[in-house]
């Protein structure tokens, strides 16, 4: 029998922050592999934006944790998404730009899956996660366009 995933608000936010940090790391590594100037600027800005997203989630975690109970958050079914994120990072046969696009999609799905559960605890944080999900999809789409026209 599978064990149920159980998170507190703080541990769930930590998982989201760590996932975003992995994405930020991909942006940083990719900078060294890109010679096309416009694409390089896009990747640099996307990495900076990822840092801002991390800061927003860290702030939400700190500001809201005092208000939260330690009641577990369950039924998220995140194992598959977390495994997919780790697989993307560890895949050796994929270039970093492809990894970034796949990571943005996976992280967007992660935020969408978590947002409704967080919404009941902190509507501000739930709305933040939905906004970050939209941003991830936009980043993915913009990167696809940048690559297409590079």
In this predicted structure, what is the pLDDT of residue 6?
A: 82
Q: How far is CA 66 from CA 10, 63, 69, 75, 111, in A?
A: 10, 7, 8, 23, 22
Using a cut of 0.85, tell me whether the model's pTM lies above it. Answer: yes
Flag whether pLDDT at 120 surpasses 90: no
Averaged confidence pLDDT in the chain: 89
Maximal CA-CA distance, the chain: 52
**Domains, the chain:** 6-67+80-148 (1.20.1260)
Provide the pLDDT for residue 65: 65
Mean pLDDT throughout 10-23? 94
Question: What's the Rg (C-alpha) of the chain?
Answer: 16
State the average pLDDT over residues 63-83.
78
Q: How far is CA 50 from the centre of its chain?
A: 8
């Amino acid at each position: 029998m599978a064990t149920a995933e159980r998170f507190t608000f703080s541990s769930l936010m930590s998982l989201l922050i760590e996932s975003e940090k992995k994405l930020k790391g991909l942006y940083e590594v990719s900078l060294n592999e890109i010679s096309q100037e416009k694409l390089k600027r896009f990747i640099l800005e996307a990495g900076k934006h990822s840092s801002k997203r991390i800061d927003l989630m860290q702030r939400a975690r700190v500001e809201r944790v005092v208000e939260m109970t330690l009641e577990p958050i369950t039924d998220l079914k995140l194992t598959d998404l977390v495994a997919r994120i780790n697989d993307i990072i560890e895949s050796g046969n994929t270039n970093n730009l492809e990894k970034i696009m796949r990571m943005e999609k996976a992280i967007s799905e992660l935020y969408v899956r978590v947002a409704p559960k967080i919404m009941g605890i902190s509507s501000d944080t739930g709305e933040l996660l939905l906004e970050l999900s939209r941003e991830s999809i936009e980043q993915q789409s913009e990167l696809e366009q940048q690559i297409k026209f590079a």
